[in-house]
Amino acid sequence: MVTKTEESKLQELETQVENGGGGAWEYLSLVRKLKLRRSDKVLKHGLTILNDPKKRSNLGPDEWTLYEQVAIAALDCQSLEVAKDCIKVLQKKFPDSKRVGRLEAMLLEAKGSWAEAEKAYSSLLEENPLDQAISMRRVAMAKARGDILGAIDWLNKYLEIFMADHDAWRELAEIYVSLQMYKQAAFCYEELILSQPMIPLHHLAYADVLYTIGGLENLQTAKKYYASTIELTGGKNTRALYGICLCTSAIGLLTKGKNSEDKEIARLAAAALEKDYKQSSSDKVSLLGSALKSLKL
């Protein structure tokens, strides 16, 4: 995750570079370090350096890193000729590089030559089955083609090998949610919570899925995870507070209002919501009041 300090530094450098104040290489290096995809900016400022022989030679070995970074940015921006030129330079310098081979396959993918790209990726994976970047390119390609079930298949195969890849678990969960496959999504979020128990967004997403599935047991568990989200965020998560109210209302309907403890927790959540709205969105307090009243807490 990008820290506030890193985000502030990046924004400062971006403003400086955009206004002609120099620091393009520092900006590009930070974008790469933080694993961000500011593709339009990278393409613009990267080409400024690559097209200037003096600036380019000053980079030393980092010149080839920049060529790769600009090639990927060009693919993102559909500047395929620029990407092709960058890849040609890298091919000449590193003729047998698998890393350059991946860029060649990505160029085929960007052109819509799916069969050729798939063949290239398969060939690269035969030589190195543990290449995570190439495995994830197959997932991206399946999604680009609209083959969502294919993307699910590739992600599951990928996660059999790289079980600790949190981003892949989250991506798979989001795909399952989009297909209303909520039980499968719940499993993914359980894996994320086990491996990253202090990330509140995992708790919140898991609670949302369980609430959507419904049923008394799922609602009670959802309520617990909304509560853990509130605890992890210091009571600052409006969605989780409202989730407590929604779960309490739904549980009340199923149990015919027998659990008074549930209602007390919901009243506390509702009070926190009202306080939050008065401070940040005072014009919507009456709307919130109507919504909470309809839940019959």
- Complete DSSP assignment for 132-160: HHHHHHHHHHHHHTT-HHHHHHHHHHHHH
Query: pLDDT at position 1, please?
Result: 67
Beta-carbon count within 10 A of 286 CB:
10
CA quadruple 238, 243, 246, 249: dihedral positive or negative? Answer: negative
Token representation of residue 53? 């022989």
102-105: Cβ within 8 A, 24+ apart: 102/131, 102/133, 102/134, 102/137, 103/68, 103/71, 103/72, 105/134, 105/137
- What b/e sequence results for 190-221 when a residue is b if at least 16 CB atoms lie within 10 Å of its CB, and e otherwise? ebbbeeeeebbebbbbbbbbbbebeeeebbbb
Query: pLDDT at position 182, please?
Result: 98
CA quadruple 9, 10, 16, 21: dihedral positive or negative? Answer: positive
**Letter for the amino acid at 249?**
S
Q: What is the DSSP letter of 284?
A: G
Per-residue pLDDT of the chain (297 residues; tens, 9 = 90+): 678 898 899 999 999 999 888 899 999 999 999 989 899 999 999 999 999 999 999 999 999 999 999 999 999 999 999 999 999 999 999 998 999 999 999 999 999 999 999 999 999 999 999 999 999 999 999 999 999 999 999 999 999 999 999 999 999 999 999 999 999 999 999 999 999 999 999 999 999 999 999 999 999 999 999 999 999 999 889 999 999 999 999 998 888 867 666 678 888 898 899 998 888 888 888 888 888 888 887
Whether 86 contacts 74, CB under 8 Å: yes
Model confidence, pTM: 0.83
Query: pLDDT at position 264, please?
Result: 81
